[in-house]
Structure 1
Amino acid sequence: MKPRHVERHRIGRIGWLRAAVLGANDGIVSTASLIMGVAAGHADAGSILLAGAAGLVAGAMSMAAGEYVSVSSQADTERAELERERRELATDPLNEQAELTAIYVERGLEHALAARVATQLMAHDALGAHARDELGLTDTASPRPVQAALASALTFAIGASLPLLVAWLSPPTVRLWSVSVSALACLSLLGGLAAAAGGAPVGRATARVTFWGALAMGLTAAVGALVGTAI
């Protein structure tokens, strides 16, 4: 008997990978931008480090809360849709079977074959068939609020600690340049690693995350310099 061919796909990584990349990227960009904005306003070293540390804690908690609420809302919507499908299958199974048949016809099957496929799938797992083929819900992409919240908070804190550490170790005369260069280097590395993990083009992802990070830091530093001069 031939061994079963097993393909390994990266689609199962989308949920945690998105939350992790978003958290680390936001941690680097927001904290580096905050430090550069305060430093450009001629604040002393203590104020700069205090602002960076406060930004790290506040940002990590904000990311965790935002991810948890967002993913929980998605999970609530999916549960409501599944419950609706369960009621419709109980009260009108023939119409639900016809609906599933029409979906398979639209995907390219002949009507007779589509009807047989719908009949067999509904006999095996009616709710699962409708969840997958009508609603587009799968176990792979199912929302996990706690996992997303923890991943976002942890990766934000890790990302934010990098520019904060550089700001702490850098002499005042080169602090702005040290933070900006190190942050952009970390963003480039993060974009490349995330793209490689997801099987996406590395160059495009790296350029995208670096460009937007540089823009955010540049604008924040400019605002900090203007406000610092005004006050």
Structure 2
Amino acid sequence: MIEIKNLTKSYLHHKTGRHYVFKDLSFVIPPGRNLAIIGKNGSGKSTLMNILSGVDAPDSGQIISDKRISWPVGLSGGFQGSLTGRQNAQFVARVQGFRGEELHEKIRFVEEFAEIGRYFDSPAKTYSSGMRSRVAFGISLAFDFDYYLVDEAMSVGDAHFKRKARTAFQEKIGKANIIMVTHSMSQVKDMCDLVLVLEKGQVHHFDDVAAGIDYYNAL
């Protein structure tokens, strides 16, 4: 279970003043559920995802959970550009506490999953955005979490890689859960059993996925 308690997040705009994304937002994500967070552009989906992962911090409020929550899957913003894909994967594996053969197994997984060939040993700053996303996706999936945060990650790459990404997540479901931000309602139907619609800083819960999608489409 993840409890979001009295969450407030705002940004200061130099022309229009302080803009509140959320004010005293509270809700609970029940255990064992795969959640889709949907809403119109600007509703705060990615902001909420970043707060859940610890990438961003709220002005006030708490995220209460004893579960391991991933960083946003496919996030490549933390790459060190002068390091190779292999070295970036090695760094993350070390931070996660892996050493010796277990560390090498993680790196092999990332290399095989990313499918970028010799470029895995080239500096990350030379990668295309697609290559960076492939390596970042592989790094995310190399480690076990209770919840995987997915922010449009499966829209990356060609048709083959998209199928591979979808299969990887379907294998994770059952052993872990996902919290997904997406504009693809087909992904919501295929992979989620709970929908949360963000609207004007508030949330609307739907245990019926079809009803949640219908509500979103009517906004």
Higher helix share: 1
With normalisation by structure 2, the TM-score equals 0.29
With normalisation by structure 1, the TM-score equals 0.28
